[in-house]
Amino acid sequence: MPILKILQYPDDRLHTVAAPVLQINNNTRTLIRDMAETMYAAPGIGLAATQVDVHQRIIVIDVSEAHDQLLVFINPEITASNGLSDYEEGCLSVPDVYGKVSRAESITVKALDADGKFFTLDASGLLAVCIQHEMDHLQGKVFVEYWSRLKQARVIAKLKKRHRHAM
């Protein structure tokens, strides 16, 4: 399974709104396996298809310590949310940048799994944060865009400087 290239902020493709998955087939399942492999290799706890330049509503998440509890969400929708908390977040598309974002403390999400079976999940804590973060990607939003324009400009400058030094 190939490791997919993760788009880096501020790449405009990260702002593409993902389309619903109309049919789950072998190509869909291959993408899910490749996304999971990419997420684990990064290493990360969540990855949206948008981040690998595939603009379909697919998310993979594994917040387990052993990295052995992969969750797949196809066409996810949050149907309920409760509370509000600030969480320190990071993102594979914004490497080495971390900061607080306010999100719902708990959510209920409905989606399809990799076999096309409908499920509903109640999530709280880190899992709820991760689901909301990855669903933002499907809407073309990156977590740093919750911050002030000044703070976003600093992040972009930091990433551009790092990119120049890497060349």
User: Is residue 65 among the annotated active site residues?
Assistant: no
How far apart, in whole angstroms, are the C-alpha atoms of residue 160 and residue 162?
A: 5
16: left (phi over 0), alpha (psi -120 to 50) or beta: beta
**Are 134 and 61 within 8 A, CB to CB?**
yes
Catalytic residue among 65, 88, 89, 134: 134
Residue with tokens 């972009």: 156
Q: Which residues are catalytic?
A: 134
